[in-house]
Amino acid sequence: MTAKKVAVLKGGGSLERTVSLRSGARAQAALHRLGHEVIPIDVGPELLAQLHETRPDAAFVAMHGRDGEDGTVQGLLETIGVPYTGSGPAACMRCTDKALAKYLMCEAGIPTPDFTSFKETAVKELGVAAALGDIEHLLGFPMVVKPASQGSALGVKFARSSEELPGAIVGALSYDRKVVIERYVPGRDLAVSVLDSIDESPPAPSAVALPVVEAIPREEDFYNYESRYEIGMTTFVCPAELPEETTARAQQLALEVYRLLGCHGVARVDLMLDERSDELFVLETNVVPGLTETSLLPLAADAAGIDFDELIERILASAFTR
Ligand SMILES: Nc1ncnc2c1ncn2[C@@H]1O[C@H](COP(=O)(O)OP(=O)(O)O)[C@@H](O)[C@H]1O
Ligand SMILES: [Mg+2]
């Protein structure tokens, strides 16, 4: 690729701001090494003015969570005509809303844990409390209660009994107006990153699934925000030690989900492998996967023989293949 002027969008006001700053810093360093001109932007009220002023050839979106991952920034970049890395606004919205993504996966026959989902208005105005018994009957305990649109396990809680359920719902609703309540899948925590191939022209570059990563928590009872980013609290194994057919199935599912949700450039699909039945279930898709030293996408790329700089170059290329 010829040298480009690239604005790296990082930080912003989301709860994952610190992680995003780290992802952005690493992307910047790689873009420098690759010979591109880098304009670092810690996203704030000046974002649009800065983009107008600097007129970059592309924006490299390294923002996780709100705004950078939910389609807001992507929509604005479309409006001002700046090409950008990764998925477009609609795919971002489909992925960020875990409830929407799960309903779409159900319609498409892609396995995802049984669930229900509602907005806080159901609690405040529709008397959803009267349906908690039905939810228990449908999903059983423990249940996983999560805000529909956070990342990094923020606000994810296990409810082990009827007593714990209302509190977990209220807790999730403090992060987002919508909650997802899911059947608990006992088993292994897997992630499959998908990357578009670099050398194909628009409109449809083909996507490849990278080797499967397994996240093995060391102390916490599940893979949470702390353990994900504090080096040493989670062990990552890549390629995950799995039977060949399980690996192939996980990669196949990730590619199906990537296409179903309309992702572009790169994404990471999180799955659970049920230890009792060996079935795979898709939990969610991240459209701006982390790029930190401990993140899963760089690890998976490395296992596929794609070093960090090449990974960044391929993500950058996605800005020009839409
Ligand atoms: N249904 C579930 N069964 C078992 N563990 C789950 C389930 N849902 C989430 N988890 C655990 O919580 C983690 C975070 O959940 P996830 O849906 O990927 O949300 P996010 O990563 O956006 O916070 C998962 O990686 C997994 O360890
Ligand atoms: Mg996840």
Check if the beta carbon of residue 273 is closer than 8 Å to that of residue 190: yes
Statement: 93-111+186-320 belongs to CATH 3.30.310.80: no
Secondary structure (H, E, C), 217-234: ECCCCCCCHHHHHCCCCE
Ligand 1 pocket check for 153: Cβ under 6 Å: yes
The predicted pLDDT at position 52 comes to: 97
Check if the beta carbon of residue 110 is closer than 8 Å to that of residue 253: yes
- Choose the catalytic residue: 228, 290, 313, 314: 290
Helices (H), the chain: 17-33, 47-54, 72-80, 89-96, 98-107, 120-124, 132-139, 164-173, 225-229, 244-260, 296-303, 308-317
Q: What SS3 state is found at 311?
A: helix
The predicted pLDDT at position 108 comes to: 98
Is 268 among the residues known to form the active site? Answer: yes
Tokens 């309309």, located at residue: 262
The predicted pLDDT at position 118 comes to: 98
β-strands 115-119, 178-183 pairing: antiparallel
Per DSSP, the residues of 10-69 read E--SSTTHHHHHHHHHHHHHHHHHTT-EEEEEE-STTHHHHHHHH--SEEEE---STTTT
Is 270 among the residues known to form the active site? Answer: yes
Which part of the chain has CATH 3.30.470.20?
93-111+186-320
The predicted pLDDT at position 232 comes to: 59
15, 19, 112, 144: which to mutate for ligand 1, most atoms within 8 A of CB?
Answer: 144
Other CB atoms within 10 Å distance of the CB of residue 55: 12
Is 229 among the residues known to form the active site? Answer: yes
- The burial of 152, by beta-carbon neighbours within 10 Å (0-12 exposed, 13-18 middle, 19 or more buried), is given as buried
269, 283, 285, 287: which to mutate for ligand 1, most atoms within 8 A of CB?
Answer: 283
β-strands 178-183, 143-147 pairing: antiparallel
| Separation of alpha carbons 191 and 280, rounded Å | 11
> Which residues make up the environment of ion ligand 2, defined by Cβ < 5 Å?
270
Which part of the chain has CATH 3.40.50.20?
5-86
95, 178, 222: which to mutate for ligand 1, most atoms within 8 A of CB?
Answer: 222
Ligand 1 pocket check for 176: Cβ under 6 Å: no
| Separation of alpha carbons 80 and 51, rounded Å | 9
Q: Which atom of ligand 1 is nearest to the CA of 283?
A: 17
CATH topology classification for 115-183: Dna Ligase; domain 1 (3.30.1490)
| Separation of alpha carbons 96 and 187, rounded Å | 24
Ligand 1 pocket check for 222: Cβ under 6 Å: yes
- Choose the catalytic residue: 94, 229, 265, 318: 229
CATH topology classification for 5-86: Rossmann fold (3.40.50)
Q: Which ligand is nearest to the CA of 272?
A: 1
Check if the beta carbon of residue 270 is closer than 8 Å to that of residue 228: no
Which part of the chain has CATH 3.30.1490.20?
115-183
Task: List the end-to-end C-alpha distance of the chain, in Å, as a whole number.
Answer: 16
Other CB atoms within 10 Å distance of the CB of residue 74: 27
Digitized pLDDT (tens) for each residue of the chain, 322 residues in all: 999 999 999 999 998 999 999 999 999 999 999 999 999 999 999 999 999 999 999 999 999 999 999 999 999 999 999 999 999 999 999 999 999 999 999 999 999 999 999 999 999 999 999 999 999 999 999 999 999 997 777 788 999 999 999 999 999 999 999 999 999 999 999 999 999 987 655 556 789 999 999 998 876 555 555 545 555 578 899 999 999 999 999 999 999 999 999 999 999 999 999 999 999 999 999 999 999 999 999 999 999 999 999 999 999 999 999 9
- Choose the catalytic residue: 11, 16, 23, 71: 16
Global pTM value: 0.95
